[in-house]
């Protein structure tokens, strides 16, 4: 009876959890980008989920505190404040924005960083050449103080190495650009890299123990570079033109950065070195993107990291729920510990612990989900065994014959060509690798090389005329196998003659094509020259002038007899027919003189010497 009751209680609990998951958002945000007048939130596939802070008009830098789920950002256009706190709600109307830092000296903030252990906020002021810090407690912040002040350096990008307790920043003065760091106490300032032009954003990668930064070089060039945490082993991952990068973040596999000119976010794989690395635009914006943040699950993924284990343990201890009951375990605790109880309707599975500040679950290593209900290794490896790495990610140990991040790829797929059969060969100390068993006609590692006639005939003769997979006409091709050497020599000679004939045909074909092309070009040139000459030839003038001497009468071919009669003389009929051998037209001197005279005088001149000759006009 007791087992039956426990079974039903467990079923009811899981049903409640399932309903709670279904009613909540189907996908949580993974990326957030600031534009001029809002913050946009995206999922892993860069589909927009929600927006916030639409009341601002000069957003730039942003940082995310995963331990308490706080988002800090700044607005350069605000007169009453410079840094603000954002807490996301279930809907756009429930987002809470609160002013934290009052603007003091018209500062120009370019970068923000946060230390979750000491709950301290750091930011760069490029205008006043300073780095500020302020402690954050109970949604309030202390009076800002100067962490470090410079003379010529212009601090821009900034990042906190939470595990090693270091602060990194970039000096974007193009006269003496540099990458620098110091301890979080403000001591031991170090200049790590100086051979940079104008470094912009910077990020700490706990997966590879490296720093990544953007360098805005002269002449619209830029680069994405990395180095170890002490500045050596420097590598250039990306170089390109016509871009102006701004801020950068990293996760386990990729690097992301915002681009000013093209108003987009770009990414590149951290392991893709060389000229074939693919840079992909993830999202285009209607306004210029500036700051960018990403969820990395720092507390869970780096729980087993030797460098981060102590810091994460202290952070998780601070976020654990405390009670004010007096027990032998908490007698030594101070009375300053505040009694905070987790929400009663929030259940964490698989030894997950509620976060007393955010109300969400802090999962143990190997589990994820809103209630820590999803094992990371669940259905992760297709053909292999799953295990958790030191960084808290699921990895696969593939079965023989499979490869890929999730053992999803069969190594024999497409490995052998031309009908070859793929098998696995296991060598001592090595993993199984594919080997091809080729047919009789092919050879090579992938059966990609076709055998010669000599090789086929040799196999045919050595097998006693029964060599498998050979063409049916092998006896006609190879001839008598009693004298293999003679047969091979004859085949080789015939092959040489055949190759010579093929080469001769190829040469003739090349000459024919070359001569045809030359003749075609010559014909086209002649045609072009002819048409150019034809259209540039002067046009024969066509003259047509009709002078009416007397009106109201039909044209006469004889001399007019009366004053009322009309006589028309069409000069065109005289000059443009066979009467004249050459066309007649007025010379230029006469044309200029005729233009000065009136039309009546022109008619008089036409009939000046005309006399009556027996009724004949001429």
One-letter-per-residue 3-state SS of 77-100: CCCCCCEEEEECCCCHHHCEEEEE
Closest CA to 469 of 439, 448, 446: 439
540 DSSP 8-state letter: P
pLDDT for 243 = 81
Closest CA to 474 of 462, 482, 465, 483: 465
| Other residues' Cβ atoms within 10 Å of the Cβ of residue 456 | 20
535 exposure class (CB count in 10 Å sphere: 0-12, 13-18, 19+): exposed
pLDDT for 334 = 36
Which residues does 142 contact at the CB level (< 8 Å), separation at least 6? Answer: 134, 135, 136
* Residue whose pair of structure tokens reads 């309030």 in the numeric block: 140
**Which residues are registered as beta bridge partners of 434?**
424
Range ranked top by mean pLDDT from 2-11, 45-54, 583-592, 608-617? 45-54
* Residue whose pair of structure tokens reads 């976020």 in the numeric block: 319
* Residue whose pair of structure tokens reads 């049903």 in the numeric block: 15
Confidence of residue 13 (pLDDT cuts 50, 70, 90): very low
- Average per-residue pLDDT for the chain: 78
d(CA 337, CA 356): 13
Q: Which residue has the higher pLDDT, 7 or 459?
A: 459
Q: Which residue has the higher pLDDT, 386 or 301?
A: 386
Q: Please, are residues 393 and 252 in contact by the beta-carbon 8 Å criterion?
A: yes
Least trusted range by pLDDT, from 5-14, 91-100, 140-149, 231-240: 5-14
CA-atom Rg of the chain in angstroms? 46
Closest CA to 284 of 21, 607, 578, 35: 35
d(CA 204, CA 215): 16
pLDDT at 330 over 80: no
In 3-state terms the chain splits into helix, strand, coil percentages (rounded to 5) of: 20, 30, 50
Range ranked top by mean pLDDT from 364-368, 461-465, 555-559? 364-368
User: What share of the chain in percent tops pLDDT 70?
Assistant: 70
For residues 477-481, give the mean pLDDT: 68
* Residue whose pair of structure tokens reads 């190759």 in the numeric block: 499
Find the distance separating the first CA and the last CA of the chain, reported in whole Å: 146
User: What share of the chain in percent tops pLDDT 90?
Assistant: 36
pLDDT for 354 = 87
d(CA 535, CA 538): 8
Maximal CA-CA distance, the chain: 158
d(CA 476, CA 40): 77
* Residue whose pair of structure tokens reads 């790590």 in the numeric block: 192
Q: How many helices (H) and strands (E) does the chain have?
A: 9, 39
Confidence of residue 594 (pLDDT cuts 50, 70, 90): low
pLDDT for 12 = 47
* Residue whose pair of structure tokens reads 């000599």 in the numeric block: 454
For residues 64-83, give the mean pLDDT: 87
Q: Is the pTM of this model over 0.75?
A: no
For residues 500-521, give the mean pLDDT: 87
Q: Is 110 helix (H, G, I), strand (E, B) or coil?
A: strand
90 exposure class (CB count in 10 Å sphere: 0-12, 13-18, 19+): exposed
Closest CA to 114 of 74, 81, 154, 78: 74
d(CA 218, CA 200): 13
Which residues does 556 contact at the CB level (< 8 Å), separation at least 6? Answer: 565, 566, 567, 568, 617
Strand 145-149 vs strand 155-161: parallel, antiparallel, or unpaired?
A: unpaired
For residues 243-262, give the mean pLDDT: 90
pLDDT at 64 over 80: yes
pLDDT at 242 over 90: no
pLDDT for 584 = 57
pLDDT at 51 over 80: yes
d(CA 464, CA 481): 9
d(CA 132, CA 150): 12
| Other residues' Cβ atoms within 10 Å of the Cβ of residue 273 | 11
pLDDT for 176 = 92
d(CA 39, CA 71): 10
Least trusted range by pLDDT, from 47-56, 69-78, 378-387, 587-596: 587-596
Q: Please, are residues 266 and 256 in contact by the beta-carbon 8 Å criterion?
A: yes
Residue-range domains of the chain with CATH: 61-300 (2.120.10.30), 411-450 (2.10.25.10), 452-494 (no CATH), 546-606 (no CATH)
HSE-up of 604 (CA within 13 Å, CB side)? 6
**Which residues are registered as beta bridge partners of 178?**
171
Which residues does 49 contact at the CB level (< 8 Å), separation at least 6? Answer: 25, 27, 29, 41, 42, 43
For residues 235-254, give the mean pLDDT: 88
Count, residues in the chain: 618
Q: What are the tokens at 122?
A: 């750091």
């Amino acid at each position: 009876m007791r087992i039956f009751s426990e079974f039903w209680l467990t079923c009811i609990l899981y049903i409640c959890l399932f309903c709670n998951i279904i009613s909540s958002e189907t996908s949580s945000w993974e990326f957030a980008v600031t534009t001029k007048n809002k913050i946009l939130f995206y999922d892993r596939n860069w589909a927009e989920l929600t927006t916030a802070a639409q009341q601002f008009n000069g957003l730039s830098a942003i940082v995310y505190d995963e331990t308490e789920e706080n988002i800090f950002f700044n607005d350069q256009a605000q007169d009453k404040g410079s840094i603000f706190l954002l807490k996301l709600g279930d809907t756009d109307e429930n987002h809470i924005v609160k002013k934290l830092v009052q603007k003091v000296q018209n500062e120009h903030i370019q970068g923000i960083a946060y230390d979750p252990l000491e709950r301290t906020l750091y930011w760069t002021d490029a205008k006043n050449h300073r780095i500020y810090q302020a402690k954050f407690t109970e949604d309030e912040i202390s009076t800002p103080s100067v962490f470090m002040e410079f003379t010529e350096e212009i601090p821009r990008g900034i990042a906190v190495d939470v595990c090693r307790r270091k602060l990194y920043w970039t000096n974007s003065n193009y006269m003496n650009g540099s990458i620098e760091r110091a301890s979080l106490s403000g001591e031991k300032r170090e200049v790590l890299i100086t051979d940079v032009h104008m470094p912009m954003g910077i990020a700490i990668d706990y997966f590879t123990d490296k720093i990544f930064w953007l360098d805005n070089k002269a002449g619209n060039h830029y680069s994405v570079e990395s180095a170890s945490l002490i500045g050596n082993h420097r590598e250039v991952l990306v170089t390109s033109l016509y871009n102006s990068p701004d801020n950068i973040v990293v996760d386990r596999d990729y690097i992301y950065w915002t681009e000013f000119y093209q108003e987009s976010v770009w990414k590149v794989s951290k392991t893709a070195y060389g000229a074939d690395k693919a840079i992909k635009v993830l999202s285009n914006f209607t306004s210029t993107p500036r700051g960018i943040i990403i969820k990395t699950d720092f507390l869970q993924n780096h729980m087993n990291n030797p460098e981060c284990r102590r810091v994460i343990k202290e952070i998780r201890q601070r976020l654990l729920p405390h009670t004010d009951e007096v027990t032998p375990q908490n007698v030594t605790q101070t009375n300053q510990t505040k009694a905070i109880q987790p929400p009663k309707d929030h259940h964490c599975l698989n030894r997950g612990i509620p976060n007393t500040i955010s109300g969400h679950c802090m999962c143990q290593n190997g589990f994820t989900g809103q209630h820590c209900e999803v094992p990371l290794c669940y259905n992760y490896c297709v053909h292999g065994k799953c295990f958790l790495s030191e960084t808290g990610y699921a990895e696969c140990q593939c079965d023989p014959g499979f490869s890929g991040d999730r053992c999803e790829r069969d190594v024999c797929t497409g490995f052998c060509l031309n009908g070859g059969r793929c098998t696995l060969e296991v060598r001592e100390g090595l993993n199984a690798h594919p080997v091809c068993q080729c047919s009789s006609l092919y050879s090579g590692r992938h059966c990609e090389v076709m055998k010669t006639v000599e090789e086929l005939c040799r196999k045919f003769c050595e097998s006693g005329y029964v060599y498998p997979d050979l063409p049916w006409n092998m006896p006609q091709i190879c001839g008598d196998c009693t004298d293999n050497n003679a047969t091979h020599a004859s085949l080789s000679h015939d092959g040489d003659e055949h190759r010579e004939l093929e080469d001769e045909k190829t040469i003739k074909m090349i000459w024919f094509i070359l001569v045809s092309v030359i003749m075609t070009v010559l014909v086209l040139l002649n045609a072009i020259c002819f048409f150019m000459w034809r259209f540039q030839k002067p046009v024969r003038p066509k003259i047509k002038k009709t002078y009416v001497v007397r009106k109201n009468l039909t044209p006469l071919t004889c001399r007019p007899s009366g004053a009322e009669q009309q006589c028309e003389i069409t000069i065109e009929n005289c000059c443009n027919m066979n009467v004249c051998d050459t066309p007649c037209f007025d010379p230029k001197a006469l044309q200029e003189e005729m233009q000065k005279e009136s039309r009546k005088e022109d008619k008089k001149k036409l009939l000046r010497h005309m006399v009556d000759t027996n009724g004949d006009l001429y």
